[in-house]
Chains A and B, each alone.
Chain A
Amino acid sequence: MSRQEILEGLKSVLAPYTMDKEALNSINDETEFIKDLKINSANLIDIIIDAEERYEIEIDPDSAEKIHNAGSCIDIILEKMKEKA
């Protein structure tokens, strides 16, 4: 799966947690979840669990704490998919 494909899938994961649809539509690696998408920190666990379910992976605390923007999230998803393969 390519980074672009994961980015597209990530949009669906993030959609329920952001009201800023314009920012979501223009998402890129640098897009910060809290600062740019205005996602509340209380939803970060939801996002991690939704990503785990979508990509059938498990994201441990050490990896989860590194997720702050779309790029870092894609890095972790790719890393965990690779570990599982």
Chain B
Amino acid sequence: MALALTSAERTRKEKFFSKIICKQEIELFKSIDSSSLSFENFVWLAWSIKESVYKFCSRNNSSLLFSPTKIFINSIQLPAKKNIPIGREMESGSLDRAISYCCEVSFQGSKYFTQSIINNELIFSVCNNKNDFDNICWGIKNIHDDRYENQSASVRLFTLNKLQDLFKHSDLKIEKKTAGYPVIKQRPNIPLSFTHHGCFVGYAFALNSNE
């Protein structure tokens, strides 16, 4: 998510943040070094984490409703390195733990794990049902035109370039399931997720052990 599109003043209001985080998560924030993470960014980090968990779970349950206060962040581990520089494009085979906020999350009786990166401009999170992100590929790109149609086209092209490079296959196609999530037509078993907000678009997908 693009932090420039959020209002720090509004985020600090209890009426606002109480719709994203609960009292226990406020206590969690108080227990960490706040010099590295403002309260507003913590609230949006929580939003990003919870939305990533919702997206992860809704692939198997299309009727699932997104309710941030029903997803709980149990623990948060701060990154060893801060102030990550992000150029126009950033991609990796996996998220580096040294630059990530690592969290354990509970939702509907199950545990999930998330890794997030934050800088002054954006927050980006990925989710898995095990604390292993080695097989998750991700990318973030800064685009000039933030109209919806361009966000959508840009994130598809950005992802296809990565996939075609990875699989040496020039004719891959991305389709959208009626449930709303994208799939790679030729590799439907690879879970793929898109995100876009303002001038940032991003993707994450998990490679199976045999890919």
Contacts and interface: CB of A to CB of B under 8 A. Distances in A.
A65 interface: yes
A49 interface: yes
Nearest to B152: A38
Contacts of A38: 148
A49 B15 contact: yes
Interface string B2-44: 0001100010000110011000000000000000000000001
Contacts of A52: 15
Interface stretch (B66-74, B77-85, B96-104, B161-169): B66-74
B19 A48 contact: yes
Interface string A8-36: 00000000000110000000000000010
B70 A61 contact: yes
Interface size class on chain B is 20 to 34
A46 B1 CA distance: 15
Interface string B74-95: 0000000000000000000000
A72 to B, nearest CB: 10
Nearest to A68: B65
B67 A61 contact: yes
Given A19-B147, A65-B65, A41 B19 contact: no
A35 to B, nearest CB: 8
B204 to A, nearest CB: 16
A12 B160 CA distance: 38
Interface of B: 1, 5-6, 10, 15-16, 19-20, 44, 47, 51, 65-70, 147-148, 180, 196-197
Q: Which 9 A-B pairs have the closest CB atoms?
A: A65-B67, A38-B148, A65-B65, A61-B69, A45-B19, A61-B67, A42-B1, A40-B197, A42-B197
